[in-house]
Each structure stands twice: as C-alpha cells, then as structure tokens.
C-alpha cells in the first residue's frame, strides 16, 4: 500500500563544526553555495520549493521540466540549485538525496540506502548528482579547489527533518596575509 504523496517535507540541515575529521562512517560531499531546493514530482506535476517553502518552479522552468521526464511516477529530491549566477559544475540542480520514491517515504532509511536508490534514478542535465569527495583530507581538497567547504554525512543516519549532528558542514576559512599601515603628518618634532 502506498502512502499519500507529501505536499511538503522539511529539509535536513547541517550543523556547522570547526572539527576536521574523517572516518569510514562518514561520506563527504562538496558544500555548494546556491539555493536549497526540493523537487516534488507526482505524475506529471512538478513543484520546486525552497527550504522555506517558497515556490521556485517559475524561477527554474528548465529544471522543473527535467523531473517531469524521470521514469519514477512520484519522487521527492533534495539538492542545491546553482544554475545561472552561481554555476558550480555543469548542472543547474545538484541532487544529493532522495526523500520519497514510488509511493514510499524513504527518509527512515540510512543514507547509504537512499544514495543507492538515487543512483538508480537516471538524472540528465540540468539535473546532476553531487559526488562524494574521495580524499583522505576532504576539507583540504575543498580549500585547494576554492570551494565553500564540505558536508560530512553519517552513512548510517536517517534523513531528519531538522538541523542534525549527522550532517556536519566544514567551511573553508579564507586566509590572506594582510599588512595594515598608517601615516601621520609630521608635527615638527
């Protein structure tokens, strides 16, 4: 028996951390600097909503067409819109999670299982998948590449509709040497 298709799902939010770590229980992804967007596809109807429930379908009509063409009858995708002004890669909508698939809420599944489901959904541009960062020091990789940072996600964690300690964002601090100088007019002494 399938569940009733959701009109809204509160997106999971990452918690900022200053810690830098790795471990086999974590997956690391590039932190994108765009607009958080959920894509709801139910049959031929597609709605794009921001993390604050603002409608984005009209702002991204070419992105809205792409989920409409997916083989899945009903699906909810979570990702980041980076097309246009903030393009980061070739996709306009960078998908990193699936919350609903074919009549079923999949948020209770561990991240690894949700990612396996997402890999089975053929995404074509303007949709793209956010790949894992395969580096022993993912935050250093992000710094070298000039990214905003990385997101660490626990492999075994369900999708929580809140700010969660199972998703941690590690921002890259911009470092620059700076010399501050001053001048005072001579006072005759």
pLDDT of 157-176, one tens digit each?
Answer: 999 999 999 999 999 975 55
**pLDDT tens for residues 102-134?**
999 999 999 999 999 999 999 999 999 999 999
What global pTM score does this model have? 0.87
User: Which pLDDT belongs to residue 48?
Assistant: 97
User: Which pLDDT belongs to residue 84?
Assistant: 59
Do residues 68 and 41 make contact, with C-beta atoms less than 8 angstroms apart? yes
Q: Which of 31, 53, 153, 169 is catalytic?
A: 31
Residues contacting residue 135 through CB under 8 Å, at least 6 positions apart = 28, 141
User: Which pLDDT belongs to residue 187?
Assistant: 78
Residue 53 designated active-site: no
Do residues 77 and 33 make contact, with C-beta atoms less than 8 angstroms apart? no
Do residues 77 and 99 make contact, with C-beta atoms less than 8 angstroms apart? yes
Structure tokens at 20: 């830098």
Distance CA 105, CA 123 (A): 20
Could you tell me where the DSSP H helices lie in 83-184?
111-119, 138-145
pLDDT < 70 positions in the chain: 1-2, 84-90, 174-179, 181-183, 189
Could you tell me where the beta strands, DSSP code E, fall in 12-139?
13-16, 26-31, 35-42, 45-50, 74-81, 93-101, 104-105, 127-129
User: Which pLDDT belongs to residue 87?
Assistant: 52
């Amino acid at each position: 028996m399938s569940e009733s298709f959701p009109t809204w799902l509160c997106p999971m939010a990452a918690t900022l951390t200053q810690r830098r770590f790795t471990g086999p229980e974590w997956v690391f992804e590039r932190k994108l600097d765009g607009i958080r967007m959920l894509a709801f596809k139910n049959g031929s109807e597609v709605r794009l909503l921001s993390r604050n429930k603002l409608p984005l379908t009209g702002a991204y009509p070419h992105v809205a067409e792409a989920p409409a063409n997916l083989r899945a009858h009903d699906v909810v995708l979570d990702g980041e819109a980076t097309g246009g002004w903030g393009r980061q890669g070739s996709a306009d909508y960078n998908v990193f999670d699936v919350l609903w698939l074919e009549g079923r809420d999949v948020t209770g599944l561990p991240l690894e299982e949700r990612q396996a489901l997402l890999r089975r959904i053929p995404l074509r541009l303007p949709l793209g998948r956010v790949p894992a960062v395969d580096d022993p020091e993912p935050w250093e990789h992000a710094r070298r590449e000039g990214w905003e940072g990385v997101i660490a996600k626990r492999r075994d964690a369900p999708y929580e509709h809140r700010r969660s300690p199972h998703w941690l964002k590690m921002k890259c601090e911009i470092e620059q040497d700076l010399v501050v100088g001053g001048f005072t007019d001579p006072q005759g002494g």
